[in-house]
Amino acid sequence: MRDLTVDPAWQEEDLGIPLPDSLHACSVCLPTWDSIVGYEEGREKVVRRMRTGYPRFFRHPLVERLFAAAKAEVAGEGEEVVVLPTRGSVQRAHRWVELRATTAVRIASFHGLQVLIVPSKAKADALAYWRFSGEVVSSRQAQDYLDGHLREGSKSHLISRALSKFVNAAPEDIFIFPSGMAAVTSLLRALPGVREGKKTLQLEFPYVDSLKVQELFGHGVVYLNEAVGESLDEALQRIRQGEFAGVFTEVPSNPLLRTVDLKRVSEACRESKTPFIIDDSATGPLNIDSLKFADVVTGSLTKWVSGQGDVMAGMAAVRADAPLANTLRETLSVDATENAPLYIGDAEVLLSNLKDYPNRMKTVNANGSELAAWLAEHPAVAQVWHPSLTHRENYESVMRKGGGYGGLLSFVLKNQKKTAKVYDALRFNKGPSFGTAFTLVCPYTLLAHYFELEWAEGCGVSANLLRVSCGLEPFETIKATFEEALAHG
C-alpha cells in the first residue's frame, strides 16, 4: 500500500537515500505550516493538490476507484459505500454504524470483497469505522481487483516467523493485521473485561487513535496523562482492585517519548490478572522487549519494521505465560486469519522490507541519539523529548542488549512564535507517519489534534511541537539541515 507523495523539490539526489515510488506510498508531503493548516481545514487549494495521503485518513486513488466501482454496482440513489475486506469486518461495521448513526444500513458482496452501503447522512460514520478499526482494503488489493486478479492465500505466517527473531514470542503467538490499529481494535475486542462492560486505562499521552478506539469500541477509557507520583499510585491501586478491562501504554509514548514505570504497572496487573498492553511502535521490537512486562505487545509494522513507507501492517504478540493468553490468542487468531487479514500482496512487500530492518535501525538509532543530544544544546531549542533524555531509566528497563533509543524525537523552540518559519525552512520531507528511510518532520499536534489544541496543550503537548523521524542520511547532513533552519528561530 504505498500512499506517500514526495515533494518534487527534494529529490533522491538531495536526500542521499532512495525514496519510495508513489504508487502505493503511505503518507503525504505538506511542506509549509500554511499547508498543514490548509489540510486540517480542508482548504481546496491544498486538498486538490494531494495525490495520496495516510491510508486510514485519505483514500488512495486506487481505493477511490474501487469504491466508485462498488457504488455503481450495488448502491442506489442517495447511498454511499465503504468497501471492506471480509464478511466479518463488514458485519462489525454494520452493527457499529447502525448504532452510531441510528439508521438502517445494508451489506452486499462484491467479487470477493464486502460493501457496507449507507445513506449519505451516515457516510461520515462509515468512514470513521474504516479509519479507527484499521480494517482497510489496501491500494495493492484495490489494484489487483481493478486489474482482474484479486489474489487469495496468506503469507502472514512468514511475517510472524521473521518477527519472532525480534519479538520474544513464538511465531504462533504473533498475529498479523492490515494495520497497527486493526491489531489494537482486535485486542480490545478480545479483552474479557470489555465484554463485561469495564473501562480500559490509558497511561501516558498516546497516539490520538489509540485513545479514540478505546472510547469508540470499548466502554470508555480512564486516561492518566502523566503517570508519575501520586496519580500513578492511585492508578495502581485501582488496577489491583480489578477495575479495568485492560491497561494500555506506549513505550515510549508518542509524541512525548515518555515511558511509565513498567515494573510497577506489570506487578499491579499481575495481581488482579488485568491484561497489560504495550505498544512498541515508536521505537520498534528490535530496540525493546516489551513482553518482559506486557501480556500483549501491539505495534505498527508500517513504521520502522517496514522502513520504506510503502506498506501498511500491524501485529499483536501474546506472552506465552500471560494469565489470559489462551483467551486472547483465540480472538486474535480468528481476526488475523478470517476477519482482518493482511493482503498477500502487502505481506510480500513487508517480507522484502524486513530483510534490512536490523541494519537500518543501527543507523536510525545513532542518528536519533545524536540529533537529540545536539538539539538539547542548541540555543534556539527549549526542550527535547527522546528516550535517551526522557524517562531514560524506565525505557532502559525494556531496552534489548544491543538495542537503542530509536529515531523518533520531538522538540519545541524557546521562541515558539518562530516555529512556522523554522518548519518552512527545514529542507526535509514533511508530513504524518514516521519510520521512513528519509528524515520526516511534522508539527505533530497540529496534525493529530488540530480541533482540540487547547486540550493537548493542557496535557503538556504544545501546538508548536515538532516531531522528527530520523532517516538514514549521514548525521552531518541531518545536523546541517537543522542548523540552517534553526537560524530562523
CATH of the domain at 267: 3.40.640.10
Question: Based on the domain organization, do 178 and 229 belong to the same domain?
Answer: yes
Banded pLDDT at 136 (limits 50, 70, 90): very high
- Residues 6+ away with beta carbon under 8 Å from 255: 205, 385, 408, 410, 444, 445, 461, 465, 467
Q: Which H/E stretch holds residue 3? A: strand 3-5
Whether 274 and 313 map to the same domain: the answer is yes
Same domain, 163 and 125: no
Same domain, 312 and 249: yes
Tell me if 52 is assigned to some domain: no
d(CA 95, CA 86): 15
Last residue of some domain: 354, 388, 418? 354
Which residue, of 354, 383, 409, is where some domain finishes? 354
User: For the chain, what is the radius of gyration of the CA atoms?
Assistant: 21
- The cell for 30 is 505538506
Tell me how many domains the chain contains.
2
Q: Does residue 111 share a domain with residue 80?
A: yes
Burial class of residue 76, CB neighbours in 10 A (0-12, 13-18, 19+): exposed
Domain identity same for 103 and 211:
no
Mean pLDDT of 58-66: 88
In a domain, 392, yes or no: no
- Picking from 294, 322, 354, the residue at the C-terminal end of a domain is 354
- pLDDT tens digits, one per residue of 390-421: 999 999 999 999 999 999 999 999 999 999 99
Same domain, 213 and 247: yes
What is the domain extent for residue 283?
Answer: 156-354
253 and 324 inside one domain:
yes
- Residue 22's closest CA among 58, 60, 56? 60
The percent of residues in the chain predicted with pLDDT above 90, rounded, is 86
- Residue 2, pLDDT > 50, answer no
Residues 218 and 259 in one domain: yes
The CATH number covering residue 70 comes to 3.10.28
Q: Are 127 and 169 within one domain?
A: no
pLDDT given at position 21: 47
pLDDT reading at 167 higher than 60 = yes
Note if the bond before 379 is cis, omega within 30 degrees: no
Q: How confident is the model at residue 51 (pLDDT cuts 50, 70, 90)?
A: low
Asked if residue 161 belongs to a domain, the reply is yes
Give residue 251's pLDDT.
98
